[in-house]
Amino acid sequence: MASLYWTCLFLLPLFSNGYIFREEVSKRLLLTDPSALLSRMEALEMKVQSMEGLERKVQALETQLNSDRKTGATYIRWGRKGCPLVNGTTLLYSGLAAGRFFNSKGDGINTLCMPHNPDPAPLDLPAPPNGDHFGRLYGSEYEFSYKNIVHNEDVPCAVCHDIYATSSLMIPGKTVCPDHWTKQFDGFLTSEAHYIDHFGAEYLCLDKDPEYATEGSKQNDYNGRVFYPVEAMCGSLPCPPYDNGKYVSCVVCTN
């Protein structure tokens, strides 16, 4: 009881002088003071700006990392004017398939995807001393009819870019890609014909839903670089698993 008595005697002057009351009022006034609120808002704004700057730095680092890690992979989609609807794949340009004449012993061997808007070669390029000392480039034609194309129609092509890949691969005899690879398109193998008066060209994977080019001639038999489906022949190529005389599938994959 004595201790309580002395405690009350100590607190009584404080309450009587309004010390504690004034302290609480002072704190309340400080919380609603415009200058204090403004200071707090300015501090909060600085924190937000700092976070935004940090976010921009993270995005820049991610972009640099992706740029350093991935340069992208390209491939040609033969028989189509556009690229497949695959995430990360875009069209670089569309064009026309072209190569050497079907029975020419010279000229180039590979097939090219020629753009629709070619730029001229140097105008001061000298003419060859002999009239036949130069190569020639011809357009291409389908030598069969299938779905939306008919015999002798011109062959389109599309050069595609997969930004998320570093390599592309055409796999003959398959329509699916290996694990962790992205399928771009599948179709069937094409080449030159197996005739004595034809000269070879590389095997190309033609899209399973081919289109015809809208430029050039339609169903005119100009030949040039001609496309034929490829069939498997048994012997050194084992049957099974291959089927003699059956067309060969193909798929284009990126990774």
| Residues 174 and 249 grouped into a single domain | yes
Residue 146 placed within a domain: yes
| CA 39 to mean position of chain CA atoms | 50
pTM over 0.85: no
Q: Would you say residue 207 lies in a domain?
A: yes
pLDDT digits (tens, 9 = 90+) for 143-198: 999 999 999 999 999 999 999 999 999 999 999 999 999 999 999 999 988 887 88
Does one domain contain both 145 and 24? Answer: no
Q: What is the pLDDT of residues 4-37, one digit of tens each?
A: 445 444 444 544 454 444 455 455 545 556 777 7
Whether residue 200 lies inside any domain: the answer is yes
198, 166: one domain: yes
Range of the domain at 55: 8-68
Q: Is residue 125 part of a domain?
A: no
Strongest mean pLDDT among 31-45, 52-66, 73-87, 128-142? 73-87
